[in-house]
Chains A and B, each alone.
Chain A
Amino acid sequence: MLRNVTEMWRFRTLISALVGRHLNARYRGSVLGFVWSFLNPLCLIAVYALVFKYYIRFNQVDNYTLFLFAGLLPWIWFSTGILEATASISGGGSLITKAMFPAHILPTVSVLTNLANFLFAIPLLIGFMLVLGVTPTWNLIALPFVLLNEGLFLLGLSLALAALNVHFRDIQHILGNLITLWFFLCPILYPVTVIPAKMRFTLIFNPVALYTSMYHDIFINGQFPSMLEFVYTLAVACMTFMVGNMIFNYYREEFAELV
């Protein structure tokens, strides 16, 4: 594991160059180009807002659109990141089979590319808050820590799934479905408070739900995330990262033959 981490540091220039190139490549050739990275979540938010705010008249939250916005942006990072990372090594082609390329860079790049997309959308979110009269608070300083925390969790999961997917290509298809289910289990469309108190404990099995609440706290509720939840998720993230690395290292030697 230590080797993976030191190699990630050693190849930081490569990683940042690859992230840049992925961000660039994603919308290369499209007319609106980079604007799509904002338009995609905005469309999603618009549809959810239409359905839940105006059709279903869900009124448990003030500023429901803003609530959606704050929850969806990190979710898009998480879901797109994990899906891309899972397919990154099996789809790595000659980079894996014919070049001396450190394989774990690929899932890392998927995670970071989508993180970058998330970060680029944050000014948009803050602008939206200002328009609606919600002032950002100093609690925003907690954001980098939450990002780091979730990033560690996501990276660990991504490394494991990317490695496993080389052997079992079913994983990327299963995951596609699983992610949709996972989405509804996170308090993105609804606040935690609508979950019956008796059932609320189930959230501890879902770190992403806890992360979502933290983003809500930071952006909308103007409060510092619960320290207990933060420490708990960080512990889970560290475990996931370690296990992810172990699984990855167990399979990594066979990548060049199986891809």
Chain B
Amino acid sequence: MSLTQSITSDGAPGSILLERVSKRFRKRTLMRKNYTTVKGQLLERLLGPSDKDSGMFTALDTITVKVKPGCSLGVIGRNGSGKSTLLKLVSGIYRPDSGSVSVNGRISALIELGAGFHPEFSGRENVYLGGVMYGLSRKEIDARFDDIVRYAELEDYIDDPVKTYSSGMYMRLGFSLAVHTDPDILLIDEVLAVGDAGFIHRCHDTISDFRRRGKTLLFVTHDLSSVERWCDEAIWLDKGVVRGRGEPRRVIDLYMQTVNEAEEEKLLRENEAAADAAPTSPQEISDNTAAQDDDDEREIRDPEREDGPGRWGNGEVEITDVKFLSKSGEKKWLFSSEDEAVIEVDYTINRPVKELAFGIGILRVDGVAVFGTNTGLESVEVPLPDFSVPVQGGFKGTYRFHIERMGLLESTYYLDVAAHKSDHTPYDYHHRMYKFSIRCTVPFHGVFNPKHSWSFDVSYATEGKTTRLEGTC
């Protein structure tokens, strides 16, 4: 049902059509200085509107969206891309500044948790008030009341004031009410996320059932997997324009690719900023700290050093640049789990040293040490130059650490690099100064993604004949 929406009578119920719709907001609305004063209005009248466009923010810019009855459309996009505005236009809460919105059929909208609920009133009273708001008569609500409460799993709390409800309870009651009003179109704006696993499961069932009955679903979410599961079509909004539309998988990939690129750029900037901010030379470390640093594991786990980035060592060898390179040699800080990569470290030997070892450490952002090694551990000899030859500006070198396959799961990681003596006394230790991210298409559990495959071998005998099924994946 739509309360303030013009309902077109032609065609099957459940269609949504937005034609060349634009929506702009005044900036002052966004800044929450959301009302004018008589004085301000008078001044504006007298002085003339001051450059109208500069004070406006375009939330949606001439977009056309068509949803056929029985179709489910997922809307994805970053925060502030206009997704919620789109939903509010469809539900009739907002009017478009230009273009037309026509909606055919009864709408139920779940735009915000508990919107329309009165906190002082019991769940029961709110079900009745909400039902009436959705256009049901008292009798119709009576008939559905038990179902609504049972579905929301609120039998024991239905007579408590809703202000005592948890956000999950709010959501369950709102969702239950919305689906029990028998709408032709269901609008959902990212509210299901607060439900517990059990309820989410039933939401999924309900939405599947809803789709099976040929109802229309318009769905805004950041959970891309549910878009893929539920939607026949997806649109990707970016800064108020449609950047992609069509088959969900394709739109999601397109969206993810752009998000990843943006994130890569951000990581690049961050790492550059971190390198700039870090001490330009390693800090001298005191003797007692050095004595404790007897193995890499403890070094990384040292809780005092886990707070933030740091750099220490006596500076006899200095690490001057750290880069993550892709297979093709370009600088990158975002990789897929399957990617090949090279860590390239430039260093300068400032004073003659008798021994030199290099280390690499990878920490997950939550502090889990994922991997650590050094040249000493793997008996790799680091070539030392002939120090008897006088050179200007020290001996410069580069070491590369080749990774054939990242094998990490989706997360953000810190990269530690170090130059040290064989007893781990550091020349230059860069801790948590570099950040990189891994993207993984499958949401695996754990920390490690070994190269793997599945195969099957099933056999059974029937009337002397043995059937074998085989499969690999």
CB within 8 A of A170: which of B1, B5, B37, B125?
B37
| Contact B128–A17 (Cβ < 8 Å) | yes
In the A-B complex, the 4 residue pairs with the smallest Cβ-Cβ separation, listed nearest first, are A98-B115, A99-B116, A94-B115, A98-B112
Taking CB atoms and an 8 Å cut-off, the chain A residues in 119-172 that contact chain B are 166-170
| Contact A25–B34 (Cβ < 8 Å) | no
Asked if B79 CB lies within 8 Å of chain A CBs, one says no
| Contact B34–A99 (Cβ < 8 Å) | no
Q: What 0/1 pattern do residues 1 to 39 of A give for CB contact below 8 A with B?
A: 000000100010110011001000100100000000000
| Contact A101–B88 (Cβ < 8 Å) | no
Asked if A258 CB lies within 8 Å of chain B CBs, one says yes
Asked if A256 CB lies within 8 Å of chain B CBs, one says yes
Beyond A97-B115, A98-B116, A256-B93, 17 additional pairs, beta carbon < 8 A: A13-B137, A14-B132, A95-B116, A98-B112, A98-B115, A99-B93, A99-B112, A100-B3, A100-B5, A100-B109, A166-B35, A167-B41, A170-B37, A170-B38, A256-B88, A257-B94, A259-B34
Asked if A102 CB lies within 8 Å of chain B CBs, one says yes
| Contact B133–A256 (Cβ < 8 Å) | no
Complex-state Cα separation, A25 to B118, whole angstroms: 10
Complex-state Cα separation, A18 to B121, whole angstroms: 11
CB within 8 A of A167: which of B36, B128, B137?
B36
| Contact A258–B34 (Cβ < 8 Å) | yes
Complex-state Cα separation, A258 to B225, whole angstroms: 35
| Contact B93–A97 (Cβ < 8 Å) | yes
Q: How close is B101's CB to chain A, nearest CB, in angstroms?
A: 12
| Contact A100–B25 (Cβ < 8 Å) | no
| Contact B118–A21 (Cβ < 8 Å) | yes
Kindly list chain B residues whose C-beta atoms are within 8 Å of the C-beta of A257: 25-26, 29, 34, 94
Asked if A62 CB lies within 8 Å of chain B CBs, one says no
Asked if B17 CB lies within 8 Å of chain A CBs, one says no
Q: How close is B419's CB to chain A, nearest CB, in angstroms?
A: 57
CB within 8 A of B132: which of A13, A94, A168?
A13
Complex-state Cα separation, A178 to B138, whole angstroms: 41
Complex-state Cα separation, A166 to B114, whole angstroms: 23
Interface footprint category on B: 35 or more
Interface footprint category on A: 20 to 34
Asked if B394 CB lies within 8 Å of chain A CBs, one says no
| Contact A168–B38 (Cβ < 8 Å) | yes
Complex-state Cα separation, A169 to B121, whole angstroms: 28
Question: What are 25 A-B contacts with C-beta separation under 8 Å?
Answer: A14-B129, A17-B128, A17-B129, A21-B121, A21-B125, A25-B118, A94-B116, A98-B112, A99-B116, A100-B1, A100-B2, A100-B3, A100-B4, A100-B91, A100-B93, A101-B116, A166-B35, A167-B41, A168-B35, A168-B36, A170-B37, A253-B94, A256-B94, A257-B34, A258-B34
Given contacts A11-B132, A102-B3, A167-B35, contact A258 B116 (CB under 8 A): no
Q: Which of B25, B26, B132, B137 has the most CB of A within 10 A?
A: B132
Q: How close is A150's CB to chain B, nearest CB, in angstroms?
A: 27
| Contact B107–A100 (Cβ < 8 Å) | yes
Complex-state Cα separation, A25 to B161, whole angstroms: 12
CB within 8 A of A28: which of B1, B5, B115, B120?
B120
Q: How close is A160's CB to chain B, nearest CB, in angstroms?
A: 15
Taking CB atoms and an 8 Å cut-off, the chain B residues in 56-115 that contact chain A are 88, 91-95, 107, 109, 111-112, 114-115
Q: How close is A112's CB to chain B, nearest CB, in angstroms?
A: 15
Q: How close is B124's CB to chain A, nearest CB, in angstroms?
A: 12
Kindly list chain B residues whose C-beta atoms are within 8 Å of the C-beta of A256: 88, 93-94
Q: How close is B307's CB to chain A, nearest CB, in angstroms?
A: 40
Chain B residue at minimum C-beta to C-beta distance from A257: B29
Q: What 0/1 pattern do residues 246 to 259 of A give for CB contact below 8 A with B?
A: 00000001001111
- Residue numbers of B with Cβ under 8 A of A are 1-5, 25-26, 29, 34-38, 41, 88, 91-95, 107, 109, 111-112, 114-116, 118, 120-121, 125, 128-129, 132-133, 137-138
Chain B residue at minimum C-beta to C-beta distance from A22: B118
Chain B residue at minimum C-beta to C-beta distance from A90: B35
Chain A residue at minimum C-beta to C-beta distance from B41: A168
CB within 8 A of B133: which of A7, A25, A94, A100?
A100
| Contact B129–A18 (Cβ < 8 Å) | yes
Q: How close is B67's CB to chain A, nearest CB, in angstroms?
A: 18
Complex-state Cα separation, A170 to B35, whole angstroms: 10
Q: How close is B102's CB to chain A, nearest CB, in angstroms?
A: 16
Taking CB atoms and an 8 Å cut-off, the chain A residues in 91-110 that contact chain B are 94-95, 97-102
Kindly list chain A residues whose C-beta atoms are within 8 Å of the C-beta of B26: 257
Chain A residue at minimum C-beta to C-beta distance from B137: A13
Kindly list chain A residues whose C-beta atoms are within 8 Å of the C-beta of B128: 17
CB within 8 A of A14: which of B109, B111, B114, B133?
B133
Complex-state Cα separation, A168 to B94, whole angstroms: 20
| Contact A101–B3 (Cβ < 8 Å) | yes
CB within 8 A of A94: which of B95, B112, B125?
B112
Chain A residue at minimum C-beta to C-beta distance from B92: A100
Chain A residue at minimum C-beta to C-beta distance from B4: A102
Given contacts A100-B2, A100-B93, A253-B95, contact A95 B37 (CB under 8 A): no
Complex-state Cα separation, A168 to B107, whole angstroms: 32
Q: Which of A18, A90, A258 has the most CB of B within 10 A?
A: A258
Kindly list chain B residues whose C-beta atoms are within 8 Å of the C-beta of A167: 35-36, 41
Kindly list chain B residues whose C-beta atoms are within 8 Å of the C-beta of A7: 3
Q: How close is A253's CB to chain B, nearest CB, in angstroms?
A: 4
| Contact A169–B35 (Cβ < 8 Å) | yes
Kindly list chain A residues whose C-beta atoms are within 8 Å of the C-beta of B5: 100
Chain B residue at minimum C-beta to C-beta distance from A252: B4
Q: Which of B4, B5, B116 has the most CB of A within 10 A?
A: B4
Complex-state Cα separation, A258 to B2, whole angstroms: 21
Complex-state Cα separation, A164 to B169, whole angstroms: 37
Complex-state Cα separation, A29 to B88, whole angstroms: 36
| Contact A168–B37 (Cβ < 8 Å) | yes
Chain A residue at minimum C-beta to C-beta distance from B134: A100
Q: What 0/1 pattern do residues 71 to 106 of A give for CB contact below 8 A with B?
A: 000000000000000000010001101111110000
